[in-house]
Amino acid sequence: MASQLKHLVHGMGTTLEAPTWPAIAADEAQAALAHFPAAGRMTGLHWHSPRPFSAATLVHTTNGAFLLKRHHHLVRTIEGLAEEHAYIVHLAGAGVSVPEVMATAQGASAVAIGPWSYELHRQAPGEDLYRDRLSWTSFLSLDHAHAAGVALAELHVAARGFDAPVRRRQPLVSSFTILPAADPL
């Protein structure tokens, strides 16, 4: 398991920095997983995401591997996550390979615990070559860039018929308010 002291996240430049919010600890992961019965019992944490503005960990359980993501409620709400999860379900129905969004015992796709919003996804198949790379750096090869363009075109085709209302203004989703702000939250 990653140590809280050693866990660093992407800064706003090209260096790693101490996280704004702590990495997800084992006891916290167990408490969140308890809301998602199909996930099974946790057997360990195996990776922590370096992405800023959230925390995520790869959780291994008796029923497989899952990505547990935690967001502060000021950045991502249960309602906002539910909108995104509905889109993921639509894309899956259109044949796009997307990680399964896990449901809580009440059928919701996310849960609030204290100031945090949690979501759980089954681990996607394959190797994620970009999971530790800065989001704003270039592709590793022209083939990867081409494949990303093809995937984006396929995503647009699959999105047809998804008629959701315009999303409310929120940081990191539908506004750029976080970048120029002295205090992003």
**pLDDT tens digits along 93-118:** 999 999 999 999 999 999 999 999 99
Structural Rg of the chain based on CA atoms: 17
Distance CA 100, CA 121 (A): 5
Q: Choose the weakest-confidence range: 2-11, 27-36, 70-79.
A: 2-11
Task: Pull the structure tokens for residue 32.
Answer: 């969140």
Compute the CA torsion angle 112, 62, 4, 2 (nearest 10 deg). Answer: -140
Mean pLDDT for all residues in the chain: 87
Please give the pLDDT value at position 10: 62
Helix, strand, coil percentages for the chain (3-state, nearest 5): 25, 20, 55
Please say if the pLDDT value at position 18 is more than 50: yes
Please say if the pLDDT value at position 39 is more than 70: yes
Q: Choose the weakest-confidence range: 44-48, 87-91, 153-157.
A: 44-48
| pTM, two decimal places | 0.85
Q: How confident is the model at residue 16 (pLDDT cuts 50, 70, 90)?
A: confident
Please say if the pLDDT value at position 11 is more than 70: no
Collect all residues with Cβ–Cβ distance below 8 Å to 23 and sequence separation of at least 6: 2, 4, 7, 48, 55, 57
Question: Once rounded to an integer, what is the mean pLDDT over residues 33-39?
Answer: 98
Please give the pLDDT value at position 92: 97
Q: Where are the alpha helices (DSSP H) in 76-137?
A: 78-93
Please give the pLDDT value at position 173: 65
Would you list the domain boundaries of the chain?
9-158
Please give the pLDDT value at position 20: 73
If you classify domain 9-158 with CATH, what class do you get? alpha beta
**pLDDT tens digits along 149-185:** 999 999 999 999 999 988 887 766 666 666 666 665 5
Task: Pull the structure tokens for residue 123.
Answer: 């681990």
Please give the pLDDT value at position 4: 47
